[in-house]
Amino acid sequence: MSMRVLLIEDDAATRGYVARGLAEAGHVVDTAADGREGLMMALDGGFDLLVVDRMLPGLDGLAVVRALRETGADTPVLVLSALGEVDHRVEGLRAGGDDYLVKPFAFAELAARVEALLRRRRPDAASTVLAVGDLEMDTARRAVRRAGVAIRLQPREQRLLEYLMRNADRVVTRTMLLEAVWDYHFDPQTNVIDVHVSRLRAKIDREFDQPLLHTIRGAGYMLSADPPAGHERPAAAP
């Protein structure tokens, strides 16, 4: 399903790179090179997502987001910034951004976050019964079954699986998992997430013929009953 994305970014190279990538991912991308123009376009409406650079000529990115939110628009916004770390991310989220990504980023990270933000708008996001292939989860009863067989998960594994299921068929990066499942923004310097994922994989995939949890090389993971062929990698333990 194609989405309309507005990219407000003053750096031509980044703008071209991101716009091309999002277009390749099947989205309709409009671009603006400064804050004023971007805000005008955003206010005209019709966008499913805004990707806004923080430092913009004319009107800075956070001011754009604030102005947009004041009109009552709830379009998801991903804030991009050359600056990093906690204080800036907090500022970005406080201004009304829905997610925050520090430059330079791997395109896979941006793409994954864009997909997650777009998915957030779908009506089934609040559903308590999730299903991917023959894997089912009842989040209210904390019960997980695959092909009718109950699977016992630790609380953290449960949260990890829930996040993956809610983002099924989408790439989820390690950073996104850390932020969403562990609620910490930090750089683990080790493959800690991979070890957790491989434990989860052992519980949901080992006994079954068809793997559901896939490692997407250079990006992260994807839970899918029908993975795109080009992305499939041998599910080797990290």
Partner 1 sequence: MTPPWWRSATFRLAAAYAAFFAASTALLLGLVYWSTAGLMARQTDDTIEAEIATLAERYRADGLAGLVRLLERQIAREPLGGPIYLLTDAGRRRLGGNLESWPRVEPDTAGWLSFDLGERGPSGIESHPARARAFRLEGGLQLLVGRDVRALRKLEALFTRASVAGVGLIVVLALAGGIVVARTSARRVEAIDSTAREIMAGDLERRIPRTGSGDEFDRLAESLNAMLDRIQALMDELRRISDNVAHDLRTPLTRLRHHLEELSAHPGGERPQVEAAIGEADALLSTFNALVRIARVRASERRAALAPVDLGALAGDVVELYEPVAETRGQHITLDTTPGAVVRGDRDMLFQAVGNLVDNAIKHGPTGGSIRLVVARDAAAVSLQVADDGPGIPAAARERVLEPFYRLEQARHTPGNGLGLSLVAAVARVHGATLALDGEHGLVVTMAFRPGPPGDDLIPPPERDSAAPARDRPPHPATA
From 126-134, 164-172, 185-193, 206-214, span contacting partner 1 (CB under 8 A): 185-193
Residue 153 CB, shortest distance to partner 1, in Å, is 14
Q: Is 105 in the site for partner 1 (CB under 8 A)?
A: yes
Judged by CB under 8 A, the residue of 72, 123, 140, 183 near partner 1 is 183
Contact 103, 77 (CB under 8 A): no
Residue 197 CB, shortest distance to partner 1, in Å, is 10
Q: Is 126 in the site for partner 1 (CB under 8 A)?
A: no
Judged by CB under 8 A, the residue of 12, 43, 149, 195 near partner 1 is 195
Q: Is 23 in the site for partner 1 (CB under 8 A)?
A: no
Give the integer Cα–Cα distance in Å for 209 and 166. Answer: 23
Write out the H or E segment, with its range, that includes residue 6.
strand 4-8
Both tokens of 66, joined, read 């604030």
Judged by CB under 8 A, the residue of 45, 191, 207, 210 near partner 1 is 191
Contact 42, 50 (CB under 8 A): yes
Q: Is 234 in the site for partner 1 (CB under 8 A)?
A: no
Write out the H or E segment, with its range, that includes residue 162.
helix 155-166
Closest CA to 194 of 215, 176, 223, 208: 215
Residue 225 CB, shortest distance to partner 1, in Å, is 23
C-beta of 69 vs 199, nearer to partner 1: 199
Judged by CB under 8 A, the residue of 59, 67, 107, 145 near partner 1 is 107
**What residues between 143 and 182 interact with partner 1 by CB under 8 A?**
156, 182
Q: Which residues pair with 138 in a beta bridge?
A: 129, 143
* Residue bearing tokens 């809610």: 166
Neighbours of 26 (CB within 10 A): 9
Give the integer Cα–Cα distance in Å for 17 and 23. Answer: 10
Contact 136, 144 (CB under 8 A): yes
Q: Is 93 in the site for partner 1 (CB under 8 A)?
A: yes
Give the integer Cα–Cα distance in Å for 154 and 106. Answer: 31
Three-class SS state of 156: helix
Binding mask 47-86 for partner 1 (x = CB under 8 A): -----------------------------------xxxxx
From 61-69, 106-114, 145-153, 203-211, span contacting partner 1 (CB under 8 A): 106-114
Closest CA to 131 of 139, 141, 122: 139
C-beta of 17 vs 208, nearer to partner 1: 17
Residues that bind partner 1 in the complex, under the rule CB under 8 A: 82-87, 90, 93-94, 103-108, 156, 182-192, 195-196, 199, 217-218, 230
